[in-house]
Structure formats: C-alpha cells, structure tokens
Amino acid sequence: MKNLLLKLYTTNALTKDELLYLLTNIDEEYEKELFRLSDLTRRKYYSNKVYFRGLIEFSNHCRNTCKYCGLRTQNKNVERYRLSTQEILDCCDSGYKMGLRTFVLQSGEDGYFTEDILVDIAKRIKDEFPDAALTYSIGEKSEACYEKIFNAGADRFLLRHESANKKLYEGLHPNMSFENRLKCLKNLKSIGYQAGSGFIVGLPNQTDEIIAEDLLLLKNIDLQMVGVGPFIPQSDTPLCDCESGSSRKTLICLAIVRLLLPKTLIPATTALAVVSKDGWINGVKIAANVIMLNLSPPSAKDKYRIYDGKNLLLDSAKQSLCSTISKLNREGFVADMSKGNYPDWERNDNYEYNA
Ligand code: SAH
C-alpha cells in the first residue's frame, strides 16, 4: 500500500488493478497518508485557495427517467418550474454583487430551452457580466448545439458520466446510452469547453471495480473539473429505499481524483454535506478547491429535488457566503472570488514530500 500511494503521488497514475487494490484494502492509517498526499498535491497548484461559483437551478423539468433523480419525468410529486431569462439574469446580478465571477446554469433536460434560447441566455449573461465565466450543466445535446452555445459565450460545461460501467449506467438511465454520454464529453472537449465530469459513489450494485473504472475514465478523458458525490435516495424514485453512499468512500475517491488529475477543479459537493455534517469541509481539507453557492430563488431551490435532504441547506447565498468563508478561514483556507479558470501555471514545488 505504501508503494502504491507513493507511485500515485509521484506519477499521478495507477492501473485498474492497483486502483482496485487501493480502494478495497485501504485502512485508517493509509487513508490518512492518502489524504495528506492529496492535500499536498492540491497545494502545489492552488496553495490554500478555494474558488466560489454561483449555481442557478433554472428548470426542474426533465425528459429523462434516471432512477436515482427526483427530477425524473415520472415523478408527479414535484412541482415543476422554469425561470425566465430575466429571472436568470437577476440571479446572476445578485451573485455578481456578492463578488461571484462564475455562474453555473443547471437544469433537467428541458426541451423548452431550445438551442436559440440557450444561445440568447449565454449572450445576455456575457453582455451584462463580461468578466464572468459561464458554465452550463444541462445534459446531453448535439455537437452542433454545444458548439453554438460555446460560440455564444459559454466557457465551461459539466456533464457527469455518472457510472463508467455500461451495464450499471444503462440500468440506471432508461433510454440513454453510455456511448452517447462519452461522445458528448468528447465533443465538449474538442469544441474547446473546460469540461467537467464525475460520478456518484454508493449507487446500488456499484462495486470497487466499477469505481476503479470511474476513476480511470476521468483520468483518460483528462477533465478540467471533476464532481464526485455520494448517492442519496430521493423519496419519489425507484431507489427510494436504497442506502446512501458513504462519505468516507467519497472522500477517498476525491483524494484519488486529486492525485490522478492534480490540476483539476474539484467542488466540495452539497451531497457530501447532506450525508455527513462535516462532509464538505473535510472534502476541502482533503482535495476540493471549489464551493458552489446556490443563487436560485428560494421557491426554485425547494423544488429542485434531485435528492432528499438538500432543502435542509437552504441558507441564502449571502448567509452561506459569509459562513462558508469564515469556516474556510478557520481551517487556513482563503476564498478566491476570481473566475478561477483551469490553471495555466505550473506547480509550486515548495510543498515537498516527506516520507
Ligand atoms: N441534467 C443535468 C444535471 C443533472 S443534476 C445533467 O444531466 O448533467 C446534477 C447531478 O446531480 C447529476 O449529474 C447527478 O450526478 C447528481 N444526482 C442526481 N440525483 C442524485 C442522487 N439521488 N444522489 C446523488 N447525486 C445525484
């Protein structure tokens, strides 16, 4: 195990078998070492900086039927909403005034938002906030559509692969294909987006071997952003009675992602905060360097029920900005309100490894 961790730290790579061995056999002592090496790696590129993003959940309509997600089309217990372009711009404006310089627009796969509307939203955000970055997280689209939105000003795109195992993926996503998911990710990268992907930890029937495949997929696509969060059952879905994913396993995965992709931007996910009280701050201490503040209007936040428990975290964005910054400062981190692009600098080798 010691050699494996050293190899991961020095080469930023492991084989599938090595990853599987690590995931299955890591004990408390080596877990501490993994977390230490991950933190050290993050500090080489980012020092103690944590970037902030403003999340706008602009529609909870969805044509898909993902078995874990409360926005699935068959869920009749969720009140559906859409924000207008003006409401989205108002959310951006309130975030901009707080100092945020990245807006992440997320929704279900909602056909109402046609290519033309998405292009218009991107142009208007870039017109009004030219020094801010725009990230879309709206699911699968054609290559041509991704390209038009990019040309209209979108800088980044988040599309988690959810699971790298075709059988598990297709079992959880009726009428969707794993190949298409991968094709979308490749298209996003080749168009020039800073692209993000990621997976869910603790999905029913997920094995350590599948997690090893998830980690390798992220490494192979060489993503600029990676989101990994625990599975949380949602009461109106077919997986409502399944157990949540563990925060320990999620933290181990985050640390491995940091070591495989040292420069990648990793958010401390809300899902991590839901499964464990200290979840997100532990995520930051170990590997994460991005915090997403929810800028959606209160009525929308409450209806964007991808999983249960999310609504317990409904502080206003301003409140959570202040409390998050003071928590970060107490742990020795500093908030960086800049755009926070994928770094074009090289690492700082002042952070030396001590065996
Ligand atoms: N429609 C967009 C956004 C989906 S919601 C898209 O397809 O990319 C954002 C993320 O929430 C998903 O990618 C999924 O990984 C996560 N998610 C949804 N339901 C979840 C659940 N029950 N537990 C944990 N994560 C969940």
pLDDT in tens, 161-213: 999 999 999 999 999 999 999 999 999 999 999 999 999 999 999 999 999 99
Shortest-distance Cα residue to atom 24 of ligand 1: 231
pLDDT for res 147: 98
Alpha helices in 246-353 (DSSP H): 247-260, 270-275, 279-286, 298-303, 317-330
Structural domain including 197 reads 30-336
d(CA 244, CA 229) in angstroms, rounded, equals: 11
Q: Does ligand 1 lie within 6 Å of residue 250's CB atom?
A: no
**For helices 178-191 and 208-221, what crossing angle results, to 10°?**
30
Of ligand 1's atoms, which has the minimum distance to the CA of residue 199?
15
pTM of the complete model beyond 0.85: yes
pLDDT for res 316: 78
Q: Does ligand 1 lie within 6 Å of residue 206's CB atom?
A: no
pLDDT at 79 over 90: yes
CB within 8 Å of 184: residues ≥ 6 apart? 140, 141, 146, 159
> Has residue 18 been placed in a domain?
no
> Has residue 15 been placed in a domain?
no
Shortest-distance Cα residue to atom 25 of ligand 1: 231
Q: What is the mean pLDDT of the chain?
A: 94
Assign 3-state DSSP to the chain and report helix, strand, coil percentages, each to 5.
45, 15, 40
d(CA 225, CA 104) in angstroms, rounded, equals: 13
> Has residue 353 been placed in a domain?
no
Q: CB atoms < 10 A from the CB of 14, how many?
A: 22
Domain containing residue 273: CATH number = 3.20.20.70
d(CA 121, CA 125) in angstroms, rounded, equals: 6
Average pLDDT over residues 275-293: 92
> Has residue 327 been placed in a domain?
yes
Which of the listed residues 200, 246, 275, 292 should we mutate to test ligand 1's pocket, taking the one with most ligand atoms within 8 A of CB? 200
d(CA 88, CA 319) in angstroms, rounded, equals: 20
Of ligand 1's atoms, which has the minimum distance to the CA of residue 233?
22
> Has residue 290 been placed in a domain?
yes
Distance from residue 162's CA to the centre of ligand 1 (Å): 8
Q: Is residue 345 very low, low, confident or very high in pLDDT (cuts 50, 70, 90)?
A: low
Which of the listed residues 182, 304, 306, 310 should we mutate to test ligand 1's pocket, taking the one with most ligand atoms within 8 A of CB? 306
User: What are the CA-CA distances from residue 298 to residues 51, 62, 272, 309 (Å)?
Assistant: 23, 20, 21, 15
> Has residue 240 been placed in a domain?
yes
Q: Which stretch of DSSP H or E encloses residue 228?
A: strand 225-230
Chain centre to alpha carbon of residue 129: 23
Q: Does ligand 1 lie within 6 Å of residue 108's CB atom?
A: yes
Q: Does ligand 1 lie within 6 Å of residue 159's CB atom?
A: yes
> Has residue 19 been placed in a domain?
no
d(CA 170, CA 185) in angstroms, rounded, equals: 17
Alpha helices in 138-290 (DSSP H): 143-151, 166-172, 178-191, 208-221, 247-260, 270-275, 279-286
pLDDT at 135 over 70: yes
pLDDT for res 347: 63
Beta strands in 60-189 (DSSP E): 102-107, 133-137, 156-158
d(CA 151, CA 20) in angstroms, rounded, equals: 41
Distance from residue 217's CA to the centre of ligand 1 (Å): 18
d(CA 353, CA 41) in angstroms, rounded, equals: 9
pLDDT for res 280: 85
Could you give the number of structural domains in the chain? 1
Q: Does ligand 1 lie within 6 Å of residue 60's CB atom?
A: no
Least confident of 68-82, 259-273, 331-345: 331-345
pLDDT for res 277: 83
> Has residue 10 been placed in a domain?
no
d(CA 5, CA 57) in angstroms, rounded, equals: 38
Average pLDDT over residues 69-86: 97
Burial of 61 (0-12, 13-18, 19+ CB in 10 A): middle
CB within 8 Å of 108: residues ≥ 6 apart? 59, 60, 61, 62, 63, 64, 71, 139
Measure CA of the first residue to CA of the last residue in the chain; give whole Å: 14
d(CA 200, CA 250) in angstroms, rounded, equals: 9
Residue 292, helix vs strand vs coil: strand
d(CA 243, CA 299) in angstroms, rounded, equals: 28
Distance from residue 103's CA to the centre of ligand 1 (Å): 18
pLDDT for res 350: 62
